[in-house]
Structure 1
Amino acid sequence: MPTARAVSRLPLMAGSAVLAAVVVTGCSSEPGPTPAKPVITAHDSTTTPGAAPTATPTLQTSGSPAFGSPSSTPTGPPIPTGPALRALLPTTATLPAGWTIKGNGNETDTGTYIVDDPVTPTLPQEPCTQMRLSGTILSQDLKASGAMKEVYDGENMAQVYLAAYHAGDAAKLLGEIRAYAERCKSFTGKGIDGKPVPLTVTQQPVPGLGDEALDMKKVPQGPYHSEEILVTRIGDRVLFLSGDDILGRLPRLMQLATPLSKAVK
């Protein structure tokens, strides 16, 4: 039987627009996306210890789910800073069985600065060919603060990104992401050899996870890597779990979803 490394996928070429998306908030100490996870370019231009859950959420494949709507007035505690969100990220003690952290997990956060006046959203105009399913990318619009950590289910890395938003903005962001997935459900990117690569994007609601949750996948034709992101809104915070199948399979994001979504409330 081949090992995961023996069936690794080819990366798709990276683009500059992805880097631009990461720095839109300005005063942040977060790094850009992990360089080892290349993406597609334009073709034409917490800590509550507990055991792993006995059941994981399942994807809903039919029906029209009722999604949350933005809050009309601020509720709950003040918006947490980056370090406060960082304290809610998983630890070795809170991860499900089989998951590990290497070193400090490359932890980063946005510092003590809270964005009081988020920049104009850019996701509605983002080209499909620049799509990357990563919390460091999809979290940017309307974000007030954030923190990131990397965890592993064996060899497969998953990025855990937790972001906080002003009242109602988290629900708006989920609407943006769903619209982006619908608009880009079929497009053409570019392989590392310069050849066109057709891609499809799917989205499925995940019932019973947070206030609303979405599982999104980007799958190319041919021997190129696929990406997946599980986006969960918990009030005015959003948890992003993402990874790819460069090593042969996607990380088991559903195993992380239940315990982490409960821990970040």
Structure 2
Amino acid sequence: MSIARTTGKLPVMAGAAAVAAVVVTGCSSTPGSTADTPAVTAPGSATSPGAAPTAVPTLQTSGAPAFGSPSSTPSGPPIPTGAALRDLLPTAATLPAGWTIKGDGNRTDTGVAVVEHPVAPLLPQEPCTQMRLAGTILSQGFRASGAMNEVYDGQNAVQVYLAAYHPGDAVKLLGEIRAYAERCKSFTGKGIDGKPVPLTVTQQPVPGLGDEALDLKKVPQGPYHSEEIVVTRIGDRLLFLSGDDILGRLPNFLQLATPLSKSVK
């Protein structure tokens, strides 16, 4: 990859679980997306995907409404479909100064159906070596709908993923993400050059952002690229902003997270 040679940053080897997770989302691969920067794999061991869900999620498919109502809380506020969430993603007109977008950012969404019975998160069983700090992967547990696109803070690509959940499930998933980061705060993966790569995962709360927010970083030792994701909870929605430092620095996530967290309510 020419960028890696220029910056001295090397990618880490792909993991089957990360690839499978991308397929589940139904999102197309775009530059800087999960398919371009996959997970590490444990040295000397075969890659195995996380545990598959025991039941296939059921979808609300009657008509083509802009919103769907969760069966568990029929009197509560409606859950937006992926198509509705897509309209809340950043555009050239709404991006902060210094940020850019190519076309519509290759926007994708989960359509006009809402998952009535979402699967439980796979993170409790997910190996540390499969960790990918990307919204298309971390959003999946409990998710009812989602949409994504990609923007740039001048040069660094940032994946924007917005997901909606049934009441209380966004809080549950954020707790699972915290537990996953704590369990995997130190592990050894394998670089694309075949060498073992020690990695450190850190997590910090982000005060004043949404109802609560978390900043996660996965940093390898040596000439390999680091990953970062900022997860913000806004009620029963989660906003994921993720990217890497393959161009020499990590993106300025908070510059985008602050205004976007107010516009996706």
Which TM class, normalised by the smaller chain length? 0.7 to 0.9
CA contact 1:8–1:247 (8 Å) conserved in 2? no
Structure 2 residue aligned with 1:100: 100
Count of aligned positions: 234
Structure 1 residue aligned with 2:52: none
User: For the aligned residues, what is the CA RMSD?
Assistant: 2.0
Indicate how the Cα distance of structure 1 residues 106 and 85 shifts in structure 2: closer, same or farther if over 3 A, else same. Answer: same
Structure 2 residue aligned with 1:16: 16
Matched, 1:91 2:88: no
2-structure distance, mates of 1:145, 1:75: 19
Q: How many angstroms does 1:93 deviate by?
A: 1.3
TM-score, reference length from structure 2: 0.83
Structure 2 residue aligned with 1:262: 262
Indicate how the Cα distance of structure 1 residues 211 and 192 shifts in structure 2: closer, same or farther if over 3 A, else same. Answer: same
Structure 1 residue aligned with 2:236: 236
Percent of counterpart pairs with the same letter? 77
Q: How many angstroms does 1:85 deviate by?
A: 0.2
What SS class does the counterpart of residue 93 from structure 2 fall into?
coil
What SS class does the counterpart of residue 79 from structure 2 fall into?
coil
Structure 2 residue aligned with 1:31: 28
CA contact 2:21–2:137 (8 Å) conserved in 1? yes
Q: How many angstroms does 1:22 deviate by?
A: 3.2
Q: Which amino acid aligns with 2:264?
A: V
CA contact 2:134–2:229 (8 Å) conserved in 1? yes
CA contact 2:116–2:144 (8 Å) conserved in 1? yes
Which sections of structure 1, spanning at least 5 residues, go unmatched?
Answer: 46-71
TM-superposition CA deviations, 1:34-86 (whole Å, max 9, x none): 432233123333xxxxxxxxxxxxxxxxxxxxxxxxxx968852000011000
2-structure distance, mates of 1:202, 1:34: 20
**What are the equivalent positions in structure 2 for 1:185-204 lying under 5 Å apart?**
185-204=185-204
Q: Which amino acid aligns with 1:31?
A: S
TM-superposition CA deviations, 1:99-148 (whole Å, max 9, x none): 00012211100001111011132111100000000000000000000000
Q: Which amino acid aligns with 2:237?
A: R
What SS class does the counterpart of residue 204 from structure 1 fall into?
strand
1-structure distance, mates of 2:211, 2:243: 22
Structure 1 residue aligned with 2:141: 141
Q: How many angstroms does 1:20 deviate by?
A: 1.9
Q: Which amino acid aligns with 2:116?
A: D
2-structure distance, mates of 1:7, 1:225: 10
| Structure of greater relative contact order (alpha carbons < 8 Å, 6+ residues apart) | 1
Q: How many angstroms does 1:5 deviate by?
A: 7.8
Structure 1 residue aligned with 2:123: 123
Q: Which amino acid aligns with 2:240?
A: F
CA contact 1:188–1:197 (8 Å) conserved in 2? yes
TM-superposition CA deviations, 1:143-167 (whole Å, max 9, x none): 0000000000122100000000000
Which sections of structure 2, spanning at least 5 residues, go unmatched?
Answer: 47-71
What SS class does the counterpart of residue 241 from structure 1 fall into?
strand
